Amino acid sequence: MPFSGTVLSIAAVVSLITAFPCPGAGRTIDYYRSLFFKLHNIEDHQGILPEARELLLSLLSEAIASNPPEKHSDVLAIEVYNEDQLLAFVHDSHREVGEAYKKYIAGREAGGPRLLAEDREQAAVLLTQLAPLKLVDGAWLGHIHHITTPFELRPITKQLWQVLSEELGDGSLHLHHAQIYNNLLHDLGVRLPAPYEPSFIDPALQMKSLGAWKAAVVQLLASLFPDEFLPEILGYNLHFEGLNLETMVLSREIQELKLDAQYFLLHVSIDNAHSGHAMMAAHAVTEYLSHIRKNEGSHAANTAWKRIQAGYMLSSNQSRHIQRDISSLSAENVHWNMASDETLTPEVDTYNIAQLLADKAAVSNKLHSACRARIGGMPLAEWLESSLGRPKSQMRDALRELSNASPWIVKGDPERSKLIRELKVGGKMFGAFTVGEIERLKNWIISLGPNEQRQTAYWDFTGRSQNDRCGPTSLVTTRSPSASIPFSADLALDESIFKAPLEYRPIKSSDCKMILPLWFAHISLLESVVSIPTRVASELGAAIIRALRAQYNFSPESDGVTGMDEVNRASMPDLVDIGVEIIHRQGFAPLPRSIADILRAWPSTSAEMLLSTSNSPVRNLDVLLGMSLAFLGLQRSVLRSPALLSHRSRSALKNIVERETSCLQVAYELLRQDSQRMQAFTKGYQLAQSILGETLGAAE
């Protein structure tokens, strides 16, 4: 997980805390905790999707407004996309982190103390505060490569899904990043509920870092709308997968405390800029922009680049908030009592702004005696003086009075607010506030406005139309009709379904219009299961990850990390490619560009049912696994139909079937230990078997 790339000295803590407030007033830590839970249980909270999209746009705007381009020499300096400049930037960023780490090591060798985790107690507190974010590691890519993805973009999103796969351990539970982090917490005596459980957001657990909660929510939000916000996700991934200093420092200090630092060591090595996630992220950006330029032109590519930069700034902005929290804990060298009511971070947003104004008033209130302006019913000088003595609990009351004092504050519009005008050149208070302080005030004023105003910075920066939606929301979920499936309790599934699976007859050309929508829809069955990392932190989850890797035709799992080797590997046909080849060889035209095209050409209520069922992966997990097992019969039927595929695709499909079968057999063995779950598995198997039987019939 990235932070800003520098470990600050104790003397810099106060300035760090005030320099990077969390804009977006009105959204408290309780708001983000509640949203964190709902996003982990999205099937039961579909009503939040419109709010989630609006929040994502607001947070993108917040990040852009907090990062004015003229102040940056980072990725924003690449005003017009240039591949060489981007790759140079990635390598330069890593070199800078390396130089900073070299200075840290020199300081330690000179007798300097640990900076982030002085002892095990402090390490426990620090790692607990970061838990909301660490336990969603990879979530921003949770829905990145689905059957809903336009077919032409799948070679790009497949690269991003590989990053997700490696975050999830490539189907090896002992390499699953969230699981590794949880094990580290256990070693420190910290036992937290699963993030999807309601007890995880209980304030009594003392996870009080607003930065961590907010950054975790950002990851979950980003994953919800992959069809609309793919460029932003690419940019977010580009920043998040970069090497950062705090991870390197923690990898050393955790080891010094005789703890397992595998989580941090993995992120030092796996995020490298040569063969690791940083280079994979950059490569995905270059491939995407090349695709856009080729198919939509240079103007569209430039707009896409701005959107990638917006996503990059979103991750960067959240990282600064996290660093503030880390530094405020470590630099004060406090051994925090986990049962204490003290917060790890100061009250954010409005309190920081109120404190700024109170500090200014302390040195200027007498200067406003002649001013006739009134705030809160009092002359300005009197209001300023009264605000000085207000306790912390009343600071927000003072700021609320100011926010309602038009024309001093025009909610959502800092440029029309008299306060901001008076602070600029030519104003009566020019020079009283620094440039950074004025930016903080402007962000606060923006946050007071309605959603449309809060999102202005995003629309202005990217040049994207507010009416422009790049694709449908992929999580429009309905209750699955599988609940009403007739079920035969007499059917007992045993190992024979693997040793002698049911065979369907070979597929004839006349069958293709019936089987094609089923072919593409069945690919969706397990895709959403992996969207919440901790829900697949189990042996069953690991088997599902391996099954998806087989369907996407990734390299077989090994003890190592494939990284850029997988990107550079000669592309092998996956299930979507195989379906498109069937369509091509049957002479259907034009070739479909998405599953929406498939269903328009060949409507199928059964295919729609598969898609609907797959959109509720928690509720329908065992049913989906049973259906997946049955649909291996369709894959084998295609294999038994030589005219449908080339030799290369037949070979690829044979390999996919073998790997899927192995994974689903593991799932079967795990589920058979629970009779209720086995009943749901059998129900799914029966449903899919019934659909295929009606379509194909048994083998002769």
**Average pLDDT score over residue span 156-164:** 94
Distance, CA of 554 to CA of 562 (rounded, Å): 10
Residue 361 confidence (pLDDT): 63
Which percentage of the chain shows pLDDT scores above 70? 78
Q: Are residues 416 and 486 in the same domain?
A: no
Is the predicted pLDDT of residue 316 greater than 80, yes or no? yes
**Going by C-beta distance under 8 Å and a sequence separation of 6 or more, which residues neighbour residue 584?**
591
pLDDT at 137: 93
What is the rounded CA–CA span in Å between residue 683 and residue 509? 30
Burial class (CB within 10 angstroms; exposed 0-12, middle 13-18, buried 19+) of 322: buried
Q: What's the N-to-C CA distance of the chain in angstroms?
A: 56
* Last residue within a domain, chosen from 331, 359, 389: 331
Q: What is the pTM of this model?
A: 0.82
pLDDT tens string 176-227 = 999 999 999 999 999 999 999 999 999 999 898 989 999 999 999 999 999 9
- 537 and 457 share one domain: no
Q: Phi, psi (5° rounding) for residue 527?
A: -60, -40
Query: In sequence order, which residues have a C-beta less than 8 Å from that of residue 56 and are 6 or more positions away?
Result: 218, 221, 222, 224, 225, 229
Q: What share of the chain is helix, strand, coil (3-state, %, to 5)?
A: 65, 0, 35
Question: Domain check: are 306 and 390 in the same one?
Answer: no
What is the Cα 214 distance to its own chain's centre?
12
Q: What distance separates the 2 farthest-apart alpha carbons in the chain? A: 99
- Cα-based angle 488, 494, 495 (whole degrees, multiple of 5): 150
Residue 375's Cβ-side half-sphere holds a number of Cα atoms within 13 Å equal to: 24
Residue 205 lies in a domain: yes
Averaged over 228-234, what is the pLDDT? 96
Measured CA to CA, the distance from residue 54 to residue 177 in angstroms comes to: 30
On whether both 248 and 392 belong to a single domain, the answer is no
Q: How many domains does the chain have?
A: 3
Give CA separation, 698 vs 438, 506, 507, 686, 689, in Å: 73, 9, 11, 14, 10
For range 635-648, the mean pLDDT: 93
Q: Which residue did the predictor score with more confidence, 243 or 178?
A: 178
Determine, yes or no, domain membership for 520.
Answer: yes
Quick one: which H or E segment has residue 501?
none
Q: What confidence category does residue 424 fall into, taking pLDDT thresholds of 50, 70 and 90?
A: confident
Enter the tokens of residue 130. Answer: 């970061």
- 116, 126 contact by CB (below 8 A): yes
Contact 403, 25 (CB under 8 A): no
Both 569 and 437 in a single domain? no
Strand partners, 374: 379
Q: Is 224 inside a domain boundary?
A: yes
10 is a domain residue: no
Co-location of 560 and 653 in the same domain: yes
Model confidence at 325, in pLDDT bands (50, 70, 90)? Answer: confident
Q: Supply the range of the domain harboring residue 47.
A: 28-331
Q: Mean pLDDT throughout 346-368?
A: 58
Confidence of residue 372 (pLDDT cuts 50, 70, 90): low
40-54, 74-88, 558-572, 610-624: the lowest-pLDDT one: 558-572
| 4 domain residue, yes or no | no
Question: With contact defined as beta carbons under 8 Å apart, do 75 and 472 qualify?
Answer: no
Does 277 lie in the same domain as 383? Answer: no
More confident residue, 642 or 576: 576
> Could you give phi then psi for residue 229, rounded to 5 degrees?
-115, 35
One domain for residues 377 and 275: no
Q: Is residue 23 part of a domain?
A: no
Instruction: For residue 179, give every residue at least 6 positions away whose Cβ sits within 8 Å of its Cβ, in sequence order, or none.
Output: 169, 173, 537
Tallying the residues shown for the chain, one arrives at: 700
Residue 352: pLDDT above 80?
no
Identify the three-state secondary structure at position 430. Answer: coil
Phi and psi angles of residue 222, each rounded to the nearest 5 degrees, phi first: -60, -30
Same domain for 109 and 161, yes or no, is yes
- Among 275, 300, 331, identify where a domain stops: 331
Same domain, 72 and 159: yes
* The last residue of a domain, from among 433, 462, 491: 462
Same domain for 138 and 218, yes or no, is yes
Nearest partner of 250 among 124, 61, 395, judged by Cα: 124
User: Looking at the structure, do residues 237 and 156 belong to the same domain, yes or no?
Assistant: yes
Say if 20 falls within a structural domain.
Answer: no
Q: Is residue 467 part of a domain?
A: no
